[in-house]
Amino acid sequence: MAWLQTTLDRVEGDKKDAPQETRLEGQRRVWHPDQEWLDMVSQETYEAIRDNWMPELPPIEFGVHLVSILFEIGPTVSSGMGGGPIEWPHIDAWCNRSGIDLLPWESRAIVHLSKVYLSESQKSSKHFYPPPWTDPESI
């Protein structure tokens, strides 16, 4: 998800005040289904589907609930010099407000997921950085 939600670094020649888009927004902008399908649906339907389109992601075999909790808390937090990983107080606050008590390994896993998300976000801002779920040999 971090790769899709990353805004790419500006390159030489980019206008500084031009709006930036995430990788996902860029993929949605250029998504074009086949013409036969387009002929069968209204413009409003096409735009609604395009605006909610997601590429196929690899399946999560275990711990889907941890990913959901990570995004409920927020995968990263603001820190003095940009983003930072979530920490124990964020998880404690979520547990207290939600009434759900996580097991220690679940809390550690969420902190780890946050760190990986942040790391991947930083790497993904480079224009030719491949999605982490692809095989580097196939690129």
CA 78 – CA 58 distance, rounded (Å): 28
Tell me whether residue 7 is exposed, middle or buried, using C-beta atoms within 10 angstroms of its C-beta: 0 to 12, 13 to 18, 19 or more: middle
What pLDDT was estimated at residue 50? 82
Give, in order, the Cα–Cα distances in Å from 58 to each of 7, 11, 54: 21, 30, 12
The reported pTM is 0.74
Strand partners, 83: 78
**pLDDT class for 89, splitting at 50, 70, 90?**
very high
The residue length of the chain stands at 139
* Cα 66 from chain centroid (whole Å): 15
Summarize pLDDT for 93-128 with one digit per residue, the tens.
Answer: 999 999 999 999 999 999 999 999 999 988 888 888
**pLDDT class for 3, splitting at 50, 70, 90?**
confident
Q: Which two tokens stand for residue 127?
A: 């224009």
